[in-house]
Amino acid sequence: GENVEQHPSTLSVQEGDSAVIKCTYSDSASNYFPWYKQELGKRPQLIIDIRSNVGEKKDQRIAVTLNKTAKHFSLHITETQPEDSAVYFCAASFRLTFGQGTILTVHP
């Protein structure tokens, strides 16, 4: 089955800086890669996703890149704000296999 590794487990940045979270996956047949944001005690919410026929996707301050050859994908958040502080999960495949999560803290 699919296996997803996510790094780093914690990330601390100053407001306005960029944040990058990286994930690798094992199953070359996977073709869907969403990113979820989860605040404490809340449900996961999709922030961006990418399909395997696209190498990059951007939505305002958030972008995702995918390297199918290397089987890794990354989340980039620019101009971070304190409200970006949360746990971020990458996932792969149709029946989602999640990474271990990254606790992002944005300091004002």
- Report the alpha-carbon distance of residue 102 to residue 14 in Å, rounded: 16
Q: What is the DSSP string of 52-72?
A: TT-SEEEETTEEEEEETTTTE
- Between 18 and 100, name the residue whose CB sits nearer to another protein: 100
The C-alpha atoms of residue 78 and residue 86 are separated, in whole angstroms, by: 15
> Quick check: 85 binds another protein (CB under 8 A)?
no
Kindly tell me which of 38 and 78 has the beta carbon lying closer to another protein. 38
10 contacts another protein (rule: CB under 8 A): no
Residue 66 touching another protein (CB under 8 A): no
Q: Is 51 in the site for another protein (CB under 8 A)?
A: yes
Given candidates 17, 32, 39, 56, which one binds another protein under the rule CB under 8 A? Answer: 32
Q: Among residues 19, 21, 25, 34, which is the contact residue for another protein, using CB under 8 A?
A: 34
Among 65, 85, 87, 86, which Cα is nearest to 75's? 65
Residue 41 and residue 25: Cα distance in Å, rounded?
Answer: 27
Applying CB under 8 A, which residues contact another protein? 6, 31-32, 34, 36, 42-46, 49, 51, 89, 91, 94-101
